[in-house]
Amino acid sequence: MKAIKFLTTSILSLGIVMSSLDCFACAACGCSLSSEAATGYSTTTGWSVSLQYDYINQNQLRSGTGSVSSSQVAGINDGGGSQEVEHGTINRYITLGLGYTPSAEWNLRLLVPYIDRSHTTYGQATSDLLTPDQISGSSVSSLGDIKFITSYQGLLSNHNLGIQLGVKLPTGAYGGPNASGTGIAGHNPVNFTSGPNTGDLLDTSLQAGTGSTDLIVGAYYNNKVSQHFSAFVNFQFQAAVKQELNQAGEDYRPGNQEALSFGIRYEANPTIEPQLQVNINHRSQDLGTLADTPNSAGTAAYLSPGVSISILKDVQIYGFGQLPIYSKLEGYQLFPHVTGSVGLTYAF
């Protein structure tokens, strides 16, 4: 039971915990899950390792609180505008987590993501050019931005109130065109590989990394509310404090992000524990010459059911789905109908 408790309280502190602030392909694209608040942090000393897979298919265009069609967006260009008409983005994230709990008060975590992202767009097409031969495609498959998170949970004697401090490093490829338009700025940004935009650089916000060093702060609280139920609340804030893309005409700063999660866990059976969350994400506008500022901010809320299962003494698997229940997005952005996350963790 001691090993199961360790696993239960540390599963998502290694993976899903930071998913809430780990995606930047849109304002709030569905990776807001934060189950670490539901499970709490381990007070048992030791190590753990996790592997998590997230699937986010952004296959609908939205603006404000409603959906829009490609032809509606292209109509802006019919009138002389310059609005991109995006087609779709599929994100697949594989995150390796390594955690260490040296004492009941402290928890340390390293998160290493691998980004697999395919993106298609019509570019700034007019209504008569919304045809398959006008779709440009790109693919990103590389290391993302690594995070290191420290948590302190010694504020209360039962260790159910904690604070977090962390950093995101610019380890993923990032960049865009340089100020003169004759080359690239950044580190190994990818190009479009098919369609009319072949050879052009992919949008800076869709690269594997942001090129920024970010500060992460947060707090969480969880407690029993009855014999078989526990409740939680978790808040995290992330902001770029240093940008590698900082020169005039080729600068980029990702928007600040806030994530609030709350929910319940059913704990009658320690082997199978269902969970239900509400996740709310807000992202402010990206800034800089390389940013798509008008189409980068927004707020979204999700209902996220899930379950964790102990399959062996030291091994646990988990799965969650996210159903969007509200969104208010600036400009025109791709958004998912549903997302999913699965993973496993091993304690030793």
Q: What domains sit in the chain, N to C, each tagged with a CATH number?
A: 2-347 (2.40.128.130)
CB atoms within 10 A of CB 284: 16
Q: Among candidates 69, 202, 75, which has minimal Cα distance to 136?
A: 202
Q: How far apart are CA 167 and CA 1, in angstroms?
A: 33
Contacts of 149 (CB under 8 A, 6+ apart): 13, 17, 18, 108, 109, 111, 164, 165, 166, 216
pLDDT single digits (tens) 114-148: 999 999 999 999 999 999 999 999 999 999 999 99
Residue 21 has pLDDT above 80, yes or no: no
Residue 25 has pLDDT above 50, yes or no: yes
Average pLDDT over residues 172-189: 94
Q: Are 76 and 63 in contact (CB under 8 A)?
A: no
Q: Report pLDDT for 76.
A: 97
What's the mean per-residue pLDDT of the chain? Answer: 89
Contacts of 122 (CB under 8 A, 6+ apart): 70, 74, 84, 85, 86, 87, 129, 130, 134, 135, 136
Average pLDDT over residues 175-202: 94
Query: With b meaning 16 or more CB within 10 Å and e meaning fewer, what string describes 167-177?
Result: ebebbbbbbbb
pLDDT single digits (tens) 36-80: 643 445 677 899 999 999 999 999 999 999 999 999 999 999 999
Q: Where does the pLDDT of residue 181 fall: very low under 50, low under 70, confident under 90, or very high at 90 and above? A: confident
Q: Report pLDDT for 2.
A: 42
Q: Report pLDDT for 10.
A: 39
Q: How far apart are CA 125 and CA 85, in angstroms?
A: 7
Q: Is 36 exposed, middle or buried (0-12, 13-18, 19+ CB in 10 A)?
A: buried
pTM of the model: 0.91
SS3 147: strand
